[in-house]
Structure 1
């Protein structure tokens, strides 16, 4: 005999939700706004959801934690009212009349923690493909542009999505004499990560001085000790000069000489590894110089 689940006392409804597997919970959340809110308040939590764009196909990968268990689920969202649910033993087709690709994505994103939303641009052939997914991703935590995208596609993805992402990660190195790295370093971002170990990024003194993101990490960078030293000295002379970055971290493509980086600079060593510098206007800079890395923390 069928039981009207939502007519039960709230304690019984919560117990029923705890007995459901995550795929059952997701299916339950699609019944109505009330069931969606019940699932969002359940013990099962979608911690991260990765949306991977591959031309007109959007792949959603969910990482779920609940009651001590970790699980992964994958969906493929097409343009119509149906989606593919990929299980270990096959594929199920879910369908909801009236739902579009945007509706599916918006529903899944609403179930996830805000800091767990990742938009991944992978192997996209045309800029027009980005237009089809701009609407369902009004805001997310991280934008990841994979290394197999063209220069034009990388630019377009940064232009369309960087303003609604907390972290922007670019895994390609499209920079040369015509496409300079400053094009992205000038962007007003919360956190920018340039990540390409096979083809290091060439970084100049002016690139560091003109950086406009609050946090910048480059892996891997090509820059000399002389330029790093000059950067610190120019910052020290910038009395009451505005400088937006709070952190710059560089992982280098070779070993560096710590003495050359700090040559001619007065500093105070703290914690045996970090060096504190203080300007006339009271601003401080904390420097760490490792074997193949250097970081600057501006206070």
Structure 2
């Protein structure tokens, strides 16, 4: 790799990597690797060779790390193309992050980390975009997402991980959803360490008319971020003013609690 002056300062070009690391996954499960191969091919040639070997024409996602901003963004786009899914959780540069959002527009799926933004505050220009999938991750269990940020989030699938959301704010969010807020949302999950709060389920559902679904009733939900449907066990059914149904589910484990909200649009329903 070598350095050159580009439109955004002195940046590295993507040429011939010294080694190539290959890992093989089946969905999210790693089945082999890592394998490190010595290399004399240009990166673009390596991509073509791997695509031929695995008979897979697409590159599903690109992940940017802390040092990625050293590389020329136009060069990355030329080598990888305009891809659909981006992980910028560990990217520190605000300017480079904005370049990614501009250069690879439209982006379908995005993963971000709150601690990479100033004062851990997520910018509105990211939240308001209509991503198919948006993952927002915390780092120290101390970051908080407020009601106005939830209402601003315009994506279809929203995953909030290791970030505090007050149960009373989730209660207000559900009530506002019933009145028409977040109309594009299909699934929401909020995961955080176990909360030392009594009757959290009662707080979340206070003042909300709902129907209890037995835990042994299992429904399949089609979601855009996975090739396989997910299973919804029981939960509490609620309805929006226009008749659209959603299910609220509170999942507890030893170390964390997850609040789920599934919106049963026609294309999300999987017939048994």
Q: How would you bin the TM-score normalised by the shorter chain?
A: 0.5 to 0.7
Q: Does 1:223 align with 2:223?
A: no
Distance between the aligned counterparts of 2:57 and 2:142, measured in 1? 32
State yes or no: 1:157 paired with 2:100.
yes
Offset at residue 296 of structure 1 (A): 1.1
- Give runs of ≥4 in structure 1 deviating > 4 Å: 54-60, 109-112, 176-179
SS of 2:62 mapped into structure 1 = strand
Aligned to 2:80: 137
* Equivalent position SS for 1:235: helix
> Deviations along 1:156-203, whole A, 9 cap, x unmatched?
333333625x43222452344695343322122111112233255421
What is the alpha-carbon distance in structure 2 between the residues aligned to residue 127 and residue 199 of structure 1?
A: 30
| Displacement of 1:297 | 1.2
Counterpart residue number, 1:61: 21
Q: With CA pairs under 8 Å and 6+ residues apart, which has the higher RCO, 1 or 2?
A: 2
SS at match of 1:132: helix
- Residue 262 (structure 2) aligns with: 297
Gap runs ≥5 in structure 1: 1-53, 75-85
Could you tell me how far apart the structure 1 residues matched to 2:250 and 2:81 are?
39
When the two chains are superposed, the root-mean-square deviation of aligned CA atoms in Å is 3.4
Change (3 A) 1:276 1:194: same
Correspondence for 2:177: 235
Aligned positions of 1:111-130 closer than 5 A: 111-112=53-54, 113=56, 117-124=60-67, 126=69, 128-130=71-73
CA contact (8 A) 1:124 1:153 kept: no
Deviation at residue 223 of structure 1 after TM alignment: 1.6
Q: How does 1:2-17 map to 2 (within 5 A)?
A: none
